[in-house]
Amino acid sequence: MSKVSIAIITPSLGFGGSERVSAQVSVFLEKEGHQVSIFAAYPDYLYKHGGQYTYLGMKKDSFFKPVQMLVAFFKLRTAFIKTPFDFVIDFRSRRIFWIEMLYSAAIYPLAKHIIPTVHLALLQNYIPKPWKVFRKVYLQYPAIVSVSDTIASQLRQYGFINAICIKNAVDFKWIKLQQNNPIEFDKPFILTAGRMDDDIKQVDHIMYAYSQSSLPSQGIHLVILGDGNKRLVYERIKNVLPFPEMIHFKGFQQNPFPYFAKAQFFVSASRFEGFPMVLIESLACGTPVISYDCPTGPKEIVKHEQNGLLVEYQNQQALCQAIDRLSSDDQLQKQCSLNAKKSIVNLDAENIQNQWAELIFQTLQRQ
């Protein structure tokens, strides 16, 4: 296959699932021999990436955000004029009409092929309304890449017939190297993790369910990884619950895999997901999972009673019962642990890399 120049646009290289996937894809495409450039709006920089990195200058807490957005826009446009890219893969949320009109008129035309990505079931976050206008634009692109089969199906139902699915990858070899590091916690525990900048992860649901379960009385703790604006709110909630001393906030961990590996199981209570990395990374460590059956994502990962438990969406009592069940049923927990890794072998990094390579190849074949 001929080698091409590829620009990846991402919010940042830190603290989020889509950000991690954008870094991952840049590594995949550089391994394929392509010339990769990655443009990040914000300065967070944690994930290993491929290609050349450019920070576009935005800051999250700035009072001059509209000005910064325009400066970042023109910095990106200048880079695209200087280097005419064959492909642009866009990992941004794209919900503001006038910004996307600017991109469609002044940045995207500078590249040959545009591939937008969609990472949540909240389609309005990735395709600005009115969809009638942007459907015509997006149908000109070789593909809209979603991270789950359900999201791709939803997009096609709305007339975006070029929607496909390439799921998030898991690097088993790298995780195996990382998961054996020591952690500063020596008690039995269950785990949850996620960014706390909003209420999408619903950490409070997990704390409520845990505090009503039998686990605290058995000496099994709840460990919470992650950080964000709502962490203080969650910590205040913890302090009014029974057994607050059994709930531990450990903040953001650059290497969370030792926690995944040592936990009895992982719990997710998200309102929305795309294809949650925390679930597949927990399974990659051989650790079962419990998850709300939220609109997209978990049901494509969690095989009920095989590698974990799916729980009725937003049912905190059912979540509490699932926590008790998986903790107390040794046979079920052992079975789910044994099935964990093999249940996601299709997500191996090499397989997902091949899918991205095939998308590039097929697009070039059609031009």
What residue ranges in the chain does DSSP mark as E strands? 5-10, 35-40, 52-55, 87-90, 113-118, 144-146, 163-165, 189-193, 221-225, 247-251, 266-268, 289-292, 308-311
Q: 3-state DSSP helix/strand/coil percent for the chain, to nearest 5?
A: 45, 15, 40
318: CB partners within 8 A, 6+ apart: 311, 312
Q: Got the DSSP string for 105-159? A: HHTGGGSSEEEEEE-SS-GGGTSPSPHHHHHHHHTTSS-EEESSHHHHHHHHHTT
What number of H helices and E strands is found in the chain? Answer: 13, 13
CA 288 from centroid of its chain's CA atoms: 19
321: left (phi over 0), alpha (psi -120 to 50) or beta: alpha
Residue 189: exposed, middle, or buried by beta-carbon count in 10 A (0-12, 13-18, 19+)? buried
Classify 172-345 by CATH class.
Answer: alpha beta
For the beta carbon of residue 262, count every other beta carbon within 10 angstroms.
19
CB 187 within 8 A of CB 264: no
Rounded Cα gap, residues 10 and 346, in angstroms: 25
Rounded Cα gap, residues 9 and 41, in angstroms: 8
| pLDDT tens digits in sequence order for the chain, 367 residues long | 678 999 999 999 988 888 999 999 999 999 999 999 999 999 999 899 999 999 999 988 777 788 888 899 999 999 999 999 999 999 999 999 999 999 999 999 999 999 999 998 889 999 988 888 899 999 999 999 999 999 999 999 999 999 999 999 999 999 999 999 999 899 999 999 998 988 899 999 999 999 999 999 999 999 999 999 999 999 999 999 999 999 999 999 989 999 999 999 999 999 999 999 999 999 999 999 999 999 889 999 999 999 999 999 999 999 999 999 999 999 999 999 999 999 999 999 999 999 999 999 999 998 7
3-class DSSP state for residue 209? helix
For residue 216, cis peptide bond before it (omega within 30 degrees of 0): no
Owner of token pair 């057994």: 243
Hey, do 5-169+348-366 and 172-345 end up sharing a CATH topology, with the first three levels equal? yes
Q: Domain ranges in the chain?
A: 5-169+348-366, 172-345
State both tokens at 324. Answer: 């008790």
pTM of structure: 0.93
CATH number of this structure's domain 5-169+348-366: 3.40.50.2000
